[in-house]
Structure 1
Amino acid sequence: MTKVTYIEFNGTEHSVDVADGLSVMEGAVRYTIPGIEGDCGGAGACATCHVYVEEGWLEKLDPMDELERDMLDFAFDVQPNSRLSCQIKVEPSLDGLVVKTPARQY
């Protein structure tokens, strides 16, 4: 299990243990974290799991592929640290990962 902290747009924090191998989006859905919808179920086809990765963590993630980059064009208020949480696989090296949700998903 890997500790992931989700911070809602209003500042409410949720620190949960997510099973390794799941995506950050799957962890959010499993624990009903507000602000991450994941309408496509993690297929990278909707951008409703958009998050901002906290400083210091972005370089620890696998690089963004072209599909994810294209889907972020449909997300609200994209920033340089934006990622789709369905594309971030949880693993022990990400223990302590912090992501924030945008004001809205679309």
Structure 2
Amino acid sequence: MALAKKGSRRIVVDGVAYRWRVSRQHWCCDYEGSTLGYAVEDATAPGTTLVVDTGRPTLRTPDAVPAHVVMPREVAAGIRCARSKGWTPGAGGSPFKLHLSAARAVT
């Protein structure tokens, strides 16, 4: 599944260009839509989409604070983690799902 270009952002990680966007789709996060997630794909040759569930609450939940947003450095860390776990962005197939613990701090 390809990401829509509208609303996506470009990021370069280790010399490779990707596009990413915060996702509100149920295939990304929990079924209540209460956790924050994002989707990533190769910017030049979209293939398998990386779907990351951060495990953090969305802004729609009462206990969320404005600091709970997805930052580019977090996306870069997610891309590196997924690549180390076998995500091949140029290959076809089902989305590659990655769940990051809410306890994991990205600095």
- TM tier relative to shorter chain: under 0.3
Question: Per chain length, whose mean CA-contact separation is higher, i.e. which structure has more relative contact order (CA < 8 Å, sep 6+)?
Answer: 1
Name the TM-score, length of structure 1 as normaliser.
Answer: 0.28
Query: Structure 1 or 2: larger strand share?
Result: 2
Larger Rg: 2
Query: Structure 1 or 2: larger helix share?
Result: 1
